[in-house]
Structure 1
Amino acid sequence: MWFLHLNLEKPAPDEIRAGVVVNGDSPWFDGHFPDSPILPGIAQLKMVADVVGQAQKKALWINRLHRVKFRRIVKPGELLEIHVMGTGNQYSFRITHNAEDVCSGMMSLDDKQQ
């Protein structure tokens, strides 16, 4: 796994929470940017899909995104909190760092790669 889970919990049937950290040696930081590495937005979205997949114990792929907002740069080693709500294949999500919004939106996930 390219990020480290600190916790993964399902407080309710339609809710998933996870604390994660992406180490500076992750390939996502290569080239984004050598003197000031940041986690690309697509990596943040993939992290949400991976957390949902791990909670459901199956591989999931992003099928559709809606109303995605990136609000803050993510640096290597920062503790991120992922909060996901939804059932079936429709999810709303929010990533925060120190209670500050990093990314939020809605996504559809599928167990078949498109």
Structure 2
Amino acid sequence: MWFLLLDLDQPAPDEIRAGVVVNGDSPWFDGHFPDSPILPGIAQLKMVADVIGKARHQSLWVKRLHRVKFKRIVKPGELLEIHVKGTDNQYSFRITHNAEDVCYGMMSLDGKRH
């Protein structure tokens, strides 16, 4: 994985929680932006899909996104919490940092790459 998965928990069958950190040497920060690196939104979405795939023990691909909102910039080394609810490859998600919303929305995942 391109991020550090600190913990992964499934408190209920339809719920996933994870703590993650993206180190400053991640390729996602290359050129985005040289003097003030931030984690691109697409990387945040990929991270959510990867965490769901890890919890479900399968490779999953983003099929569709709904109502996605980016609320805060993510800097290298910040501790992020990912909260996911859903089944049948339909998930609502929220990424937070220190209880502050970073990103949230809904995603549909598929086991096939399109």
- The TM-score, its normalising length taken from structure 1, stands at 0.99
| 1:14 equivalent in structure 2 | 14
SS of the aligned residue for 1:108 comes to strand
| 2:27 equivalent in structure 1 | 27
Root-mean-square deviation (CA, aligned residues, Å) is: 0.3
Separation (CA, whole Å) in 2 of partners of 1:81 and 1:67:
19
How much has 1:55 moved relative to structure 2? Answer: 0.2
SS of the aligned residue for 1:50 comes to helix
Runs of 4+ in 1 over 2 A off after TM superposition: none
Amino acid at match of 1:82: I
Matched, 1:50 2:26: no
Q: Which runs of 5+ in 1 are unaligned?
A: none
How much has 1:62 moved relative to structure 2? Answer: 0.2
1:10-44 C-alpha deviation (Å, 9 max, x unpaired): 00000000000000000000010000000000000
How much has 1:56 moved relative to structure 2? Answer: 0.5
| 1:83 equivalent in structure 2 | 83
Q: Which runs of 5+ in 2 are unaligned?
A: none
- Identity level (%): 83
| 1:109 equivalent in structure 2 | 109
Amino acid at match of 1:57: H
